[in-house]
Chains A and B, each alone.
Chain A
């Protein structure tokens, strides 16, 4: 049982380049999330999808877009990467968007130079 799978695990981008982070879950969860973690800090929510077909902004959405491709997959896109987006990105999923346990992927370490 893979749980939440993210790709890639590591990525280096030049300023201005674009990329998409992929996330897939095999737990039949309705809700999915993208978080970022910066050094010495906890995780902050970028975007979430409460259910298939819906997406909403979290607390730090600027510079990002998301797509809920289907129930399993939720992607995060950086259209024009900036050094401030250097971070570790985590995808998560939960059965529903309230009051259920969230499970996290292994993270993507992104460096923008």
Chain B
């Protein structure tokens, strides 16, 4: 099956810093989503981005499907950005989301 690798596994930021999270995948995909799992365990949809670039406030994401990676940018980080960020992909012929291992982010005040 498809492999999804996220880097870095852990990230510690000072409030106000910028960061980039990466998601590499091993096969062509028709669906790619970024989620934020907050400290209460809730999965929040950030982006549905099978290709191209999207922005939502301080967050933006870019997927380069031909090169099999996606990037999530966090600018001017806040303590509320802490949590685990997951990338999940769906292959063209598949029917489930395959999750990466996540990037655990801690933003310190």
In the bound complex, residues from chain A placing their C-beta under 8 Å from that of B99 are 42-44
* Contacting residue for B96 out of A33, A99, A100, A107, CB 8 A: A33
In the bound complex, residues from chain B placing their C-beta under 8 Å from that of A50 are 95
Number of interface residues of A (CB under 8 A): 26
In the bound complex, residues from chain A placing their C-beta under 8 Å from that of B101 are 40-42
Answer yes or no: A64 CB below 8 A from chain B CBs.
Answer: no
Q: How far is the CA of A26 from the CA of B25 in the complex (A)?
A: 32
Closest residue on chain A to residue B94 by CB atoms: A98
Answer yes or no: A102 CB below 8 A from chain B CBs.
Answer: yes
Binding site secondary structure of chain B:
strand
Answer yes or no: A106 CB below 8 A from chain B CBs.
Answer: yes
Q: How far is the CA of A42 from the CA of B97 in the complex (A)?
A: 11
Distance of A83 from chain B, by nearest CB (Å): 20
Instruction: Decide: A98 near B90, CB < 8 A? Known: A103-B45, A106-B42.
Output: yes
Number of interface residues of B (CB under 8 A): 22
Cβ proximity bits B6-38 to A, threshold 8 Å, 1 near / 0 not: 000000000000000000000000110101000
In the bound complex, residues from chain B placing their C-beta under 8 Å from that of A43 are 86, 88, 97, 99
| Residues 57-113 of A contacting B (Cβ, < 8 Å) | 58-59, 88, 90, 92, 97-104, 106-107, 109
Q: How far is the CA of A41 from the CA of B102 in the complex (A)?
A: 8
Distance of B85 from chain A, by nearest CB (Å): 11
Chain B interface (Cβ < 8 Å from any Cβ of A): 4, 30-31, 33, 35, 41-43, 45, 48, 50, 86, 88, 90, 94-97, 99-102
Known: A44-B99, A99-B30, A101-B33. 18 other contacts (CB 8 A): A33-B96, A40-B101, A42-B86, A42-B88, A42-B99, A43-B97, A43-B99, A48-B95, A50-B95, A59-B96, A98-B94, A98-B95, A99-B31, A101-B48, A103-B45, A104-B45, A107-B43, A109-B41
